[in-house]
Structure 1
Amino acid sequence: MKLDIFSHCTIDTIQINDSKYVVPGGPACYCSLTARILKFDVRLHTKFGSDFPLVNYLTEQKIVVKDALSTKPTTQFLLNLVNSERTLFLQNKCESINSATLDTDNVIISPLFDEISIELFEKIKKNAIFVLLDPQGFLRRKNSENKIYLEQTDLNVSGISAIKVNSDELRSLTNNSNIDGIKILQKRE
């Protein structure tokens, strides 16, 4: 089976107390690598800069990546973990993804922060049969200090086959964070 994935690759700095870890990844990598393990042929629609260290590894894993190299640095986040509190900051945003030529009818859309326009989102949905959506990047905003927060967002989820949301994202989409929010999403499909 074939699968198209739309998401940015990232370089994340994870800060836990006094320790810092810099790790490449993002849903683009995790979804692609997992799909390959499950024997999918994967085409990854992404953007990253010359600073992204996993390009060769993705190619070695037979993940098709075309027109992904940007002149801008890779999207970067700082994740601060203190006890059970998680704070996320945007450190850099690579250029947006603008290609929507699908190799298949099966798609994962998992934006991180504003890399997929609503117009591209609608075009992808129109041209695919099965669409799995992780909407976090459509819901995220940043304040003047680049701290990420979620905003109440009216996102058209018609044409979505499956959706992955946590309770905060569900609240941003429906103003409910429990089963009522799920029911609201189901009615929108």
Structure 2
Amino acid sequence: MASIKLAVVSNIALDSIRDTEGIVTESLGGPAGYCGLTARRFSFDVSLATKIGTDFPPAYKRFLLAEGIMLTDCQLSHDRDTTRFRHTSNRDNNNIRSLFLSSKCAQITIDDIEKIETDCWLVSPVIDEVPEDVLRAIILHGGRRGFVMVDPQGYTRIANSSGEITSVNKLSLNLSGVSAIKADKTELALLTGGLEGLPAMQHLQSRTGIRFVISTEYRTIHLLYNRMHYWIQLKD
């Protein structure tokens, strides 16, 4: 039986994480990394529509290749560094965390996605690297199964003058033709004009026709499908 082909549209990110003791750890981040790797665990064939800079560590390239995910020269930006985020924790309260943008790679273009042969798509930008015209092209392309899932987090993020990541006040995103969406409480409110919970999920589904609306709230995961509401409570 042939493997399902998945294309992940998202810039690979490098995360620098500083804990409350001041110890800094760098790791591979972004959906292109962790979603791609998770999909490989389930035997998907994974293609990436992504951009990296010449600063991207060769060790990470080798790691991804060993896991069946290949990066090519056409994904390399020669004038932009790899997207990098800096995570910091408050020394007095580990629950207070801040996220900063250190560098931002090039945007993904229609040329980057139009030759990808896939069954389904996951569009999950980290910070505004998938323009809406590219999203529309993906929806029209659809893949052999016509399935497009969107995680809108990267559309909601902006960086202020110091690089700190904050959220936009309003989000206007054409989601017609999208098959599934995963959004948290804040993202749902931005997409629905301030609605929350199940009413927000229902409004989004009725307005856009999205079949699968997934919402995460703390340890509860909600799914709205065919007007039926399902949920699961994760254990601590």
Could you tell me which amino acid in structure 2 is paired with residue 114 of structure 1? Answer: D
Give the aligned length: 189
Give aligned-pair identity as a percent.
38
Normalising by structure 2, report the TM-score. Answer: 0.76
Normalising by structure 1, report the TM-score. Answer: 0.94
Equivalence for 2:102? 91
Residue 134 (structure 2) pairs with residue 120 (structure 1)? yes
2: distance between equivalents of 1:64 and 1:22? 21
Equivalence for 2:76? 69
Residue 160 (structure 2) pairs with residue 156 (structure 1)? no
Greater relative contact order (CA < 8 Å, ≥ 6 in sequence): 1
Q: Which runs of 5+ in 1 are unaligned?
A: none
1: distance between equivalents of 2:135 and 2:97? 28
2: distance between equivalents of 1:11 and 1:161? 29
Q: Which runs of 5+ in 2 are unaligned?
A: 210-236
Offset from partner CA, 1:81-139 (integer Å, 9 cap, x none): 23212221111001111112231130000101121111101100111110111111111
Provide the secondary structure at the position in 2 that maps to 1:172: helix
- Runs of at least 4 residues of structure 1 off by over 6 A? none
Equivalence for 1:170? 188
Provide the secondary structure at the position in 2 that maps to 1:120: helix
Equivalence for 1:59? 65
2: distance between equivalents of 1:127 and 1:105? 10
2: distance between equivalents of 1:146 and 1:108? 27
- Pair member with larger Rg: 2
CA drift of 1:19 comes to 2.2
2: distance between equivalents of 1:75 and 1:5? 16
Question: Which residue of 22, 27, 31 corresponds with 1:27?
Answer: 31
2: distance between equivalents of 1:149 and 1:166? 15
CA-based RMSD? 1.4
